[in-house]
Amino acid sequence: MKAVRFQRFGGPEVLEIVDLPDPRPGTGQVRIAVRAAGVNPSDWKKRKGLMDEELPQTLGYEAAGLVDEIGEGVTDVAVGDRVFGFSTEGSAQAELAVLSFYAPIPPSLDFAGAAALPAAIETATRALDQLGVGDGGTLIINGASGSVGSAAVQLAVVRGARVIGTAGPANHDYLRAMGAEPVAYGEGLVERVHALAPDGADLALDVAGSGVLPELIALTGGPEHVVTVADFIGAQKYGVTFSRGDAGRAVHVLAEIGALIEAGRFSLPVARTFPLAEVAEAHRASEEGHVRGKLVLLVG
C-alpha cells in the first residue's frame, strides 16, 4: 500500500509516499480502505522531531473509509460499511489503515467530513470530562475557533454550559453561531471576560497554548479549575492539568457524535482537502495556522 513516511526530520520536503506492507487487523480491530485522513499539528511536530525520536515514522491517527477486513471478535460492522475512527499505530495517512476505535459514519457526512472528526472531538471531550463541564456553569475556552476549540464550544453548549471563547475579531461571528460569547485574546483578557461575567468563570480550557494560564487561573479561582491541551510547560509551572491521550481517551464520543450531527447540534467544517501526494502542502498549511476547520487528505 501507499503511505506517508519520513526517514529524517526536517521541513515538509522530507515527506515521502512509499510502498509499505498491507496492515492486518488484530482482535477487535477493523481494516479500512482509506478514503480520507485528517491532518493535525502533531503531524508536523513529529516531522520536525519535536515529539518522537524514532525514524522512520508514518503519520496519521484519524481516518474514514470502507471496512475491507475484520479482526477476530468484531461483530458490529461488516465488510463494505462506512466507518471512521482512530489508528492507534499512527499510520492512517495511507491507502489502508487499521482502526482500533471506530463508529459508523453519520449519514449526512462524506468521508472528508468524517475523517475530520476523531482527534478534535476526542481531545475536546476528554478535556471537558476532566473539567467536569456540565449544566449551568461558565466555561472559558482559549482558542475557540480552531478545530479542537470549536468542537469544545459545541460539546460544552450541548452539556448546558455557558461558553465564553477567545478568538480574533474575524472569528467572533463564527463563535456566536456556535453558541459562544466571543472575546478578543491578548492583553486585557481578564477585564474583557469580567465585562461579560463579573464573577469570572467556573472552569477554563486552554486549546491555544498562548501563555494565558495565569489569566485563566485568575478568572476561575485556581489552577484546579483549568485544563490545557496545548501548554505542557505552562501546566507544570502553574499546577494546571495537562490533558493527554495516554491517560485515557474519550473514545465514547465516536459513537455519540452522529446523533448530534444529524440533529444539527454539531458540525466541524473541512477547511481544505489535499490529495495524498500533496501531503507536504497540507503540512505547510497546518504550520501556518489560522485554519478554521480541519485539513484533510483524500485517498483513492
Q: For residue 212, what is the domain's CATH number? A: 3.40.50.720
- Tell whether the model's pLDDT for residue 237 goes beyond 90: yes
pLDDT in tens, 176-192: 999 999 999 999 999 99
- Tell whether the model's pLDDT for residue 110 goes beyond 90: yes
Q: What is the pLDDT of residue 86?
A: 96
pLDDT in tens, 263-278: 999 999 999 999 999 9
Q: What is the pLDDT of residue 247?
A: 60
Window from 59-63, 64-68, 75-79, 134-138 with minimum mean pLDDT: 134-138
pLDDT (average), residues 44-72? 95
In a domain, 131, yes or no: yes
The CATH number linked to 59 is: 3.90.180.10
Q: What is the pLDDT of residue 39?
A: 96
pTM: 0.94
In a domain, 253, yes or no: no
- Same-domain status, 173 and 84: no
In a domain, 252, yes or no: no
In a domain, 17, yes or no: yes
Summary mean pLDDT of the chain = 95
Over the range 168-206, which residues count as b (16 or more CB within 10 Å of their CB) and which as e? eeebbebbeebbbbbbebeeebeebbeeebeebbbbbbb
Distances (CA, A) of 121 to 247, 249, 261, 287: 16, 11, 12, 21
Given pLDDT bands bounded at 50, 70 and 90, which one contains residue 8? Answer: very high
pLDDT in tens, 10-20: 999 999 999 99
- Same-domain status, 82 and 130: no
Q: What is the pLDDT of residue 51?
A: 85
Q: Which three cell numbers stand for residue 114?
A: 468524517
In a domain, 255, yes or no: no
- Same-domain status, 163 and 72: no
- Same-domain status, 171 and 71: no
Residues 6+ apart with CB under 8 A from 207: 141, 142, 143, 144, 146, 148, 149, 152, 228, 229, 230
- Same-domain status, 231 and 134: yes
- Same-domain status, 7 and 105: yes
- Same-domain status, 70 and 99: yes
- At how many degrees (to 10) do helices 252-262 and 118-131 cross? 110
pLDDT in tens, 168-227: 999 999 999 999 999 999 999 999 999 999 999 999 999 998 899 999 999 999 999 999
In a domain, 258, yes or no: no
- Same-domain status, 218 and 274: no
What span, in angstroms and rounded, lies between the C-alpha atoms of 195 and 165? 14
Q: Which range marks the domain in which residue 213 is found? A: 124-245
- Same-domain status, 177 and 283: no
Q: What is the pLDDT of residue 210?
A: 86
pLDDT in tens, 255-265: 999 999 999 99
- Same-domain status, 163 and 52: no
The strand pair at 101-104 and 82-86 is best described as: antiparallel
In a domain, 254, yes or no: no
What span, in angstroms and rounded, lies between the C-alpha atoms of 134 and 175? 19
In a domain, 259, yes or no: no
- Counted domains in the chain: 2
Burial (CB count within 10 angstroms: exposed 0-12, middle 13-18, buried 19+), residue 44 = buried
- Same-domain status, 183 and 220: yes
User: Shortest CA distance to 141 belongs to which of 208, 197, 218, 190?
Assistant: 208
Give me the long-range contacts of 85-89 (CB less than 8 A, separation at least 24): 85/118, 85/254, 86/61, 86/62, 86/118, 86/122, 86/249, 86/251, 86/254, 87/60, 87/61, 87/62, 87/63, 88/61, 89/23, 89/58
- Same-domain status, 84 and 170: no
